[in-house]
Amino acid sequence: MDFTPAERPRILLYSHDSYGLGHLRRNLRLAESFSSSCPVTPATLIATGSGQAQSFPLPAGADTLKLPAIRKHPDGTYHARSLGSDLVATLKLRSRILAGAVEGFRPHFILVDHVPAGLLGEMREALTTARRLVPTAKLLVGLRDIIDTPSRVEAEWARDGAEDALKLYDRILVYGDAEFGTTARELDLEQRLPGRVIHTGYLAKPATAPGRDVPNLLVTCGGGGDGQALFRTVAKWLARDASPLPFRVDIVTGPMLSPRRREDLQQRLAKLPHDVHLHTFVPDMDERIARASAIIAMAGYNTTVEILASGRPSLLVPREGPRMEQMLRARMLARRGCCRMARIDDLDARGLAAFTADALSGAIQLTAPPDLNGLSRVCAEMQSLAAAGVPALHSRTGALRDHG
């Protein structure tokens, strides 16, 4: 690498963030890991399209670069969220901002989340700029354990030029456990790109928060943009009991549940005799999951990983469109005995009551989770790419702990 031992390593993290909070939260978790594990705090620039970027605390040395927002609609199409310009113009603007960030920031590492070429190819200019202006920069892309069905991923990658983009990367990091199954394994990426594909394990922080003295149920749908069906089902179940339940219920809607639906849910819950608390957003979701007695949630990557790290009994109710990601993940983990799962169309008050009774009584016995040591392995892979003698990402003793 081309910086002196005393110089701070510079890391550019990119996530397109067209729907939900998952990509942003994953990059924030990585930034926190870099900050806590490096002897010299890196300068980490997080490029994001999320309007919620300022809702989360930033680790030392990190800052954000806000991209004009793009929204993913339920049918899978994309549109400019707020600006009057059309999608093409917004993508061109985002692409120029990203390339300008590379030119001005001159990162030593670029880590792209989920989309090898960026959303609809918007990272291509930034990647080629990096190769031209910072030839020693190391390029990495991080892929979720499950992206979608293999056929859909192949079609999307062909449309966006992702196959060619993957060839630019020094490492393809798969944030999952190959033994449990990943999209990368199904697509034979290890054979197609030999020596560059690394299964890191899931990106989980160790769960350290103690359990509650009072039994509590946590209900969460991630960002909340498509959580209304689960929230309605939970509210109907809670309304079935006229006597106060012997446990507390915390419902976190997420900031993307519409105000109208949040108000409707609030009115339903206000009539109940139970100890129910409604939250729009909490920045410490991992700690709340660790303190919960039982969890009902959708099956997004970050929420699922936090549940697995906590060792708490959970009922996963996955989204079924426009991607099959959550359904495939929930089925895989349920088969392994790491959770229970139910389709939203099959879920009713009886099923929710049965799960909660089993979870609070200790009747649910969970099997060993998948590999959860992804954060330390990402740091290790980045350090392995750095030239000898560069202190960029050497771990501090004890800063990163294994889950095993």
Q: Domains of the chain: which residue ranges?
A: 10-202+372-385, 216-361
- Do the Cβ atoms of 137 and 105 come closer than 8 Å? no
**CA 241 to centroid of chain Cα atoms:** 35
Q: What tokens does 350 get?
A: 């009886």
* End-to-end Cα, the chain, rounded Å: 33
Q: Do residues 344 and 230 lie in contact, with contact meaning Cβ atoms separated by under 8 Å?
A: yes
Answer yes or no: is pLDDT of 84 > 70: no
User: For the segment 113-168, what is each residue's pLDDT rounded down to a tens digit?
Assistant: 999 999 889 999 999 999 999 999 999 999 999 999 999 999 989 988 888 899 99
Q: What is the pLDDT of residues 153-201, one digit of tens each?
A: 999 899 888 888 999 999 999 999 999 999 999 999 999 999 999 999 9
Q: What is the Cα–Cα distance from 23 to 187, expressed in whole angstroms?
A: 22
Supply the pLDDT for residue 57. Answer: 81
The answer to whether the CB of 202 falls within 8 A of the CB of 374 is yes
> Can you tell me the mean pLDDT for 272-289?
91
Please say whether the beta carbons of 170 and 139 come within 8 A. yes
* DSSP symbol at 203: B
- The answer to whether residue 5 scores a pLDDT higher than 90 is no
Q: How many CB atoms lie within 10 A of CB 2?
A: 12
What is this structure's pTM? 0.89
SS3 77: coil
Class of domain 10-202+372-385: alpha beta
Say how many C-beta atoms besides its own lie within 10 A of residue 187's C-beta: 18
Which residue matches tokens 């030239």? Answer: 387
The sign of the dihedral angle between the CA atoms of 296, 50, 32, 282 is negative
Residue 222 has φ and ψ, to the nearest 5°, of: 65, -130
The CATH number of 216-361 is 3.40.50.2000
* C-alpha angle 255-256-260 in degrees, rounded to nearest 5: 100
| Cα–Cα distance measured from residue 288 to residue 248, given in angstroms and rounded to the nearest whole number | 13
pLDDT at 303: 94
Mean pLDDT of 34-40: 83
Q: How far apart are CA 229 and CA 330, in angstroms?
A: 17
Give the integer Cα–Cα distance in Å for 163 and 161: 6
State the pLDDT at residue 110. Answer: 97
Tens digit of each residue's pLDDT (9 = 90 or more) over 346-379: 999 999 999 999 999 999 999 999 999 999 999 9
- Asked if the domains at 10-202+372-385 and 216-361 fall in one CATH topology, the answer is yes
pLDDT of residue 37: 81
| Contacts with 388 (C-beta within 8 Å, 6 or more apart), sequence order | none
Strands (E), 167-270: 171-175, 197-199, 216-220, 248-252
pLDDT category at 258 given cuts 50, 70, 90 is confident
The answer on pLDDT for 325 being more than 50 is: yes
The amino acid present at 231, given as its one-letter code, is F
Phi, psi of 334 (to 5 degrees): -65, -40
* C-alpha–C-alpha distance, residues 116 and 170, integer Å: 12
Query: Strand (E) positions, 162-301?
Result: 171-175, 197-199, 216-220, 248-252, 276-279, 294-297
Q: Burial level of 320, CB count in 10 A (0-12/13-18/19+)?
A: middle
Q: What is the largest CA-CA distance in the chain?
A: 68
**Mean pLDDT confidence for 330-335:** 98
Continuous segment of H or E residues that includes residue 267: helix 259-270
Q: What is the pLDDT of residue 250?
A: 96
Q: What is the structure's pLDDT at 76?
A: 67
